[in-house]
Structure 1
Amino acid sequence: MTGETTAMATQPLFREDAYLKEAAAVVTALTPEGGIVLDRSIFYPAGGGQPGDRGRLDWEGGGCDVATTVKGGEVDGNVLVPAEGSALPEVGTAVRQSLDWAFRWGCMRIHTGLHLLSVAIPLPVTGGQIGPEKGRLDFDMPDAPDKEAVQAALDALVAGDHVVSEEWITDEELDANPGLVKTMSVQPPRGSGRIRLVRIGSGDATVDLQPCGGTHVRRTGEIGALRVGKVEKKGKQNRRVAIHLG
Structure 2
Amino acid sequence: MTIRLFREDAYVREAPARVVAQTPEGGIVLDATIFYPQGGGQPGDSGALHWQGNRLDIATALNGEAEQIVLVPAGEGPLPPPGCELRQVLDWPRRHDHMRVHTALHLLSVVIPLPVSGGAIGAGKGRLDFDMPEALADKEALQAALQALIDRDLPVSEDWITDAELAASPGLVKTMSVSPPKGQGRVRLVRIGAGSGQVDLQPCGGTHVASTAEIGRIRIGKVEKKGARNRRVNLHLESQYQRP
Same fold (TM over 0.5): yes
Contact 1:54–1:68 (CA under 8 A) maintained in structure 2 = yes
Matched, 1:29 2:42: no
Indicate the SS of the match to 1:47: coil
Match for 1:213: what amino acid?
G
Q: Percent identity?
A: 66
Inter-partner Cα distance in structure 1 for 2:93 and 2:21: 28
* Match of residue 76, structure 1, among 64, 67, 87: 67
Q: Which residue of 2 aligns with 1:38?
A: 30
Contact 2:40–2:206 (CA under 8 A) maintained in structure 1 = yes
Matched, 1:62 2:54: yes
Inter-partner Cα distance in structure 2 for 1:15 and 1:29: 22
* Match of residue 11, structure 1, among 3, 15, 18: 3
**Following superposition of structure 1 onto structure 2, how do residues 1-246 of structure 1 map, counting pairs within 5 Å?**
9-72=1-64, 74-145=65-136, 146-246=138-238
Match for 2:45: what amino acid?
D
Gap runs ≥5 in structure 2: 239-244
Residue 231 of structure 1 and its aligned partner are, at CA, apart by 0.1
Inter-partner Cα distance in structure 2 for 1:183 and 1:213: 13
Residue 75 of structure 1 and its aligned partner are, at CA, apart by 4.4
Contact 1:168–1:196 (CA under 8 A) maintained in structure 2 = yes
Residue 61 of structure 1 and its aligned partner are, at CA, apart by 3.6
Gap runs ≥5 in structure 1: 1-8
Match for 2:134: what amino acid?
D
Indicate the SS of the match to 2:126: strand
Inter-partner Cα distance in structure 1 for 2:191 and 2:66: 31
- Cα deviation, 1:179-230, whole Å, max 9, x if unaligned, reads 0000000011211101000000011211000000000000000100010000
Q: Which residue of 2 aligns with 1:5?
A: none
Inter-partner Cα distance in structure 2 for 1:75 and 1:217: 28
Match for 2:117: what amino acid?
T
Contact 2:181–2:204 (CA under 8 A) maintained in structure 1 = no
Indicate the SS of the match to 2:67: coil
Match for 1:214: what amino acid?
G
Q: What's the TM-score once normalised by structure 2's chain length?
A: 0.96
Inter-partner Cα distance in structure 2 for 1:114 and 1:160: 16
The Cα RMSD (Å) is 0.8
Inter-partner Cα distance in structure 2 for 1:113 and 1:237: 23
Inter-partner Cα distance in structure 2 for 1:36 and 1:85: 13
Match for 1:100: what amino acid?
D
Indicate the SS of the match to 1:92: coil
Inter-partner Cα distance in structure 1 for 2:3 and 2:86: 15
- Cα deviation, 1:85-144, whole Å, max 9, x if unaligned, reads 121010000010000001001100000000010001000000000001100000000111
Indicate the SS of the match to 1:230: strand
Q: What's the TM-score once normalised by structure 1's chain length?
A: 0.95
Inter-partner Cα distance in structure 1 for 2:182 and 2:67: 15
